[in-house]
Structure 1
Amino acid sequence: MITRRSLLGGLAAGAATASGIALSGRALGASAPAARSAAGMPLHLVNDSGAYANSSVRIYIVGNDGTQQVHVTPDGTLRPVALADNGPDGYTDYAIPLAASGTTTLQLPQMSGRIYTALGGKLRFKAVEDGNGKAALAYPAGWVPSDPNFDVLHDCAEFTYNSGGMYCNTTMVDMFSVPLAIELTGAKEQTTGTLKDGARAKVFSDVKAAEGFDRLVIGDKRVIAPGHGLDSGLFAEDYFAPALDEAWSVYAGRDLTVTTDAGTFTGRVAGGKLSFTGPTGTVSFDKPSTRDVLFCDGTLAAPNDGTRGPLAAVLGAALNRSTLTSQPRQPGTDPAAFYQQRLTHHYAKAMHAATRDGKAYGFAFDDVAGFASYIEDGAPKEITLTLTPF
């Protein structure tokens, strides 16, 4: 199965960060590849926000086609990103306007990327050179006050569409602002991301009321994820320290078992490390930091190796859901047991409580045990992205 983490591998490999640094891409210039109309499928864009007219909504489809950074034009053409796309203001204008009324339909080419929605203003994507002199895009970073898009209400959904099918999700891993839902039609009908009535306001109020999370709420514009809050000085860098100390103490005296596709691993803490033995070998983890937990990175980084990666994902999910100490058999599969501790990931808790199906991407390992707002289809026919009521 393609998860969000693997789904975005191609996108992340070619996308620039907010600081304009890209990891890879293809040099674009006088010999840049020509635009092409790739085989695609219908993408329907529906504005049911109730707060913004179609004329105030703009869509941006950006990502990677496997060889280079690309964007989609209103007629469904896949174009490579080029430095010459920056206008007099220093930014590209890749906006796709909605139809004057009703549903907007265009062809979505095969690619891996994001569908951004911007309400009330345009987003500023800047075409930049990476360290190798290749073209890439600096994406919006709504959690950074100095970002040129900070004052624009915006959000995104993520997808990979290729010969194997469509893999897509709504995401709150970085922030939450615009309620979005995805409907995927193919071998079956699937929907995810739909919020309960009034849930956007409840997410804002619930996060603001949670001890230590209040500064993550940026007016009525967005709620930023605690990892980004930590990096901005808005969230305690040692928030999870007591829970991590407790877990390392508990499993110094008893076994922790984790079951993955590779089999069952048994872990104990010794010498400060949580070490597992299982059917594919031994894996050890240093005690993670709060930042490691929130970003599912650092000590908890999950390589696509079939062993360490899945173990890291299960540990990260259990720590974010506050079940690691209470459930010595992981992964936990009962959502009623998640987020029950005072010291928990209240942002992810609020996001899951807000959705009709109880699924959300509140942190990067939220796909563990199937609790992410993610759907896929091997024979997709059409996809609909809806701006749902505020």
Structure 2
Amino acid sequence: MISRRSLIRGAAATAIAAPAAGLLVTQAGGVTRKKPGRAAAPLSLKIVNNSGEFDSKSVHVYIVGNDGKNQVRVTPEGELKPVSVGDNGGDGFTDYAIPLTGEATTLQLPEMSGRIYVACGEKLKIKAVEGGDGSAALAYPAGWVSGDPNFNVMHDCAEFTYKGGAMYCNTTMVDMFSVPLGIQLKGDKDQKTGFLKQGGRDQVFKAVKGAEGFGDLVIDDKRVIAPGHGLGEGKFSESFFDAYTDKVWETYSSKELVVTTNAGKFTGKVSGDKLSFTGPGEVSFNKPSTKDILFCDGELAAPNDGTTGPVAAIVGAAFNRSTLASIAEQPTTDPAEFYKGDVVHEYVKAMHAATEDGKAYGFAFDDVAGFASYIEDGGASEMTLTLTPF
């Protein structure tokens, strides 16, 4: 039920982001993995520019991440190279951009875990720095921070892990939304996700701009930043979920909340400031803040322990979808029940409403009950990342 929490929470404003191999893991049900052995052949990765807004010469692609030992980047020739502080140029930044050769550019993707960034109009400013252990690392773009060198660059990313012939990938709006991206994955199956409806980008911008308390998250025509990052920029209320959290605590002080995970059923009730569960294990949560809910962290942190983690994920998803107070058996699987009432996460609602399949990664637990723009294939043969019409 839980997948890659650490990666999709995003990097802090000036932090060194280090996507690690294996953070993208199979969800419930999983895939059939290939037997361990030699490294898989590079995966065919096609980048398609259907943006209608930028010609391919002005679209720059970056493939960066981790090979399990080092932070790495992929060259235009498909070579995996460790990042180096010596890669910084005279302007203080690396130039890891992979040029597009036309409307469709085919690259070779080696085994690794990381992100595929696309920048439109100008290149990203990504600095290689010395990490805490002395090895080189990257300071990733933080487009939601006004002081970040990439704030004025239109960019976005998809996330992936390619390992043992299996590909796990997703589009993401956890940090922000700017460039509409869609993924198609071929192999044992032919799947796609992330594609927006016609006019979907404008739909998202207008919906968020027009929602009370959310309007300041829209940065011109460049991007919409997630409410959690809006807190740090003074663009979103730090008490947004407070009234709803009080309602949840009041509701379950007099009745039970049942959360079902792969480990079994957990039954919870509120006493004082603590929501405590019994079942396959004992799990408890203090009353979360708005920040905790938006980041699915803090009091709602989800360790990979098989008990607290899955319960935290389901409770966190129910908070973000405004179903926790009204539905006492979680997770809720009917999207018609999401985003109702007086306290609604309008950012995430807008993201899901704009996609063709109704799926989006709008917050870190959006994969609960399968509503994330995430696909996987144990025998992947080709991945296509498409910049779709603006």
Q: State TM-score, norm by structure 2.
A: 0.92
Matched, 1:229 2:240: no
State the partner residue of 1:389. Answer: 389
Residue 78 of structure 2 is aligned to residue 83 of structure 1: no
Number of the residue aligned with 1:270: 271
Mapped contact 2:18–2:138 kept (Cα < 8 A): no
Question: Could you say what secondary structure the match of 1:314 adopts?
Answer: helix
Asked whether the equivalents of residues 16 and 140 of structure 2 are also in contact (C-alpha less than 8 Å), the reply is no
> Is 1:19 the counterpart of 2:11 in the alignment?
no
Corresponding letter in the other structure for 2:243: P
CA contact (8 A) 1:207 1:213 kept: yes
Secondary structure of 1:140's counterpart equals: coil
State the AA in 2 paired with 1:362.
Answer: G
Distance in 2, matches of 1:16 and 1:346, equals 23
Match of 2:57?
Answer: 55
Structure-2 residue corresponding to 1:198: 199
Structure 2 match to 1:30:
none
The answer as to whether partners of 2:19 and 2:114 remain within 8 angstroms in 1 is no
Give the match for residue 150 of structure 1.
151
1:365 CA displacement: 0.2
Bigger shift: residues 133-142 or 349-358: 133-142
Using CA pairs below 8 Å that are at least 6 residues apart, which structure has the higher relative contact order? 2
**1:92/1:18 CA distance change after superposition, 3 Å:** farther
Q: When the two structures are aligned, how many residues end up with a matched partner?
A: 372
Deviations 1:301-343 (A, max 9, x none): 0000000000000000000000001000000000000001231
Change (3 A) 1:22 1:119: closer
Please state how far the C-alpha of 1:232 moved relative to its aligned partner. Answer: 1.2
Check 1:189–1:261 CA distance in 2 against 1; reply closer, same or farther (3 A cut): same
Q: Find the counterpart in structure 2 of residue 170 from structure 1.
A: 171
- Quote how far apart the aligned CAs of 1:231 are: 1.4
Given that 2:131 and 2:137 are in contact with CA atoms closer than 8 Å, whether structure 1 keeps it comes out as yes
Deviation at 1:143, TM superposition (A): 0.2
Report the CA distance shift for 1:120/1:352 in structure 2 as closer, same or farther (over 3 A).
same
1:69 correspondence with 2:64:
no
What is the CA–CA distance in structure 1 between the aligned matches of 2:59 and 2:17, rounded to whole Å?
28
Q: Structure 1: which 5+ runs fail to align?
A: 26-36
Q: How does 1:274-293 map to 2 (within 5 A)?
A: 274-279=275-280, 281-293=281-293
What's the offset of the Cα at 1:39? Answer: 3.2
Deviation, 1:389, is 0.4
Given that 2:60 and 2:97 are in contact with CA atoms closer than 8 Å, whether structure 1 keeps it comes out as yes
Shift of 1:131: 2.3
What SS does structure 2 have at the residue aligned with 1:351? helix
C-alpha contact (below 8 Å) 1:159/1:167 kept by paired residues: yes
Pick closer, same or farther for the CA change 1:310–1:384 going to 2, 3 Å: same
Cα deviation for residue 16 of structure 1 reads: 7.1
Mapping of 1:179-190 within 5 angstroms?
179-190=180-191
Q: Distance in 1 between matches of 2:179 and 2:17?
A: 27
Q: What is the rounded CA distance, in whole Å, between the counterparts of 1:193 and 1:292 in structure 2?
A: 26
Q: CA deviation at 1:271?
A: 2.4
Determine helix, strand or coil for the equivalent of 2:292. Answer: helix
Match of 1:379 in 2: 379
Q: What is aligned with 2:353?
A: 353
**Structure 2 CA distance for partners of 1:236 and 1:60, relative to 1, 3 Å:** same
Residue number in structure 2 paired with 1:333: 333
Write the letter of the residue equivalent to 2:235.
L
Asked if the contact 1:111–1:160 (Cα under 8 Å) also holds between the matched residues in 2, the reply is: yes
- Once the two structures are superposed, the pairs formed by residues 74-153 of structure 1 within 5 Å of their partners are 74-99=76-101, 101-153=102-154
Counterpart secondary structure, 2:285: strand
Opposite residue 137 of structure 1, the aligned amino acid is L
Three-state SS of the structure 2 residue aligned to 1:285 is strand
Displacement of 1:164 in angstroms is 5.6
CA 1:261–1:214 in structure 2 vs 1: closer, same or farther (change >3 Å)?
same
- The 3-state SS of whatever aligns with 1:106 is strand
CA distance in 1, matches of 2:252, 2:129: 48
- Structure 1 residue 54: deviation in Å? 0.6
Residue pair 1:20, 1:130 contacting (<8 A) in 2 also: no
Distance 1:302 1:96 in 2: 36
User: Contact 2:18 / 2:71 at 8 angstroms: preserved in 1?
Assistant: no
TM-score, scaled to structure 1: 0.92
Partner Cα distance (1:227, 1:69) in 2: 27
Root mean square deviation, CA, Å:
1.8
Q: Is the 8 A contact 1:22 1:129 kept in 2?
A: no
Unaligned residue ranges in structure 2 (runs of 5+)? 21-38
Mark the CA change 1:2 to 1:111 in structure 2 (over 3 Å): closer, same or farther: farther
Name the structure 2 match of 1:216.
217
CA contact (8 A) 1:172 1:361 kept: yes
What is the rounded CA distance, in whole Å, between the counterparts of 1:302 and 1:150 in structure 2?
30
Q: CA deviation at 1:354?
A: 0.3
- Distance in 1 (CA, whole Å) between partners of 2:189 and 2:40 is 24
Shift of 1:133: 2.2
| Cα distance, 1:163–1:128 mapped onto 2, change above 3 Å | same
- Once residues 17 and 179 of structure 2 are traced to their aligned partners in structure 1, the CA distance between those partners, rounded to angstroms, is 27
How far residue 38 of structure 1 moved from its aligned partner, in angstroms, is: 8.0
How far residue 41 of structure 1 moved from its aligned partner, in angstroms, is: 1.1
Match of 2:27 in 1: none
Partner Cα separation in structure 2 for residue 216 and residue 236 of structure 1: 11
- 1:169–1:374 CA contact under 8 A, matched in 2: yes
Q: SS at the partner of 2:282?
A: strand
Counterpart-to-counterpart distance in 1, 2:316 and 2:177: 21
Q: How far, CA to CA, are the matches of 1:76 and 1:291 in structure 2?
A: 40
Structure 1 distance, partners of 2:227, 2:178, is: 14
Q: Does 2:342 correspond to 1:342?
A: yes
Q: Secondary structure at the match of 1:380?
A: coil
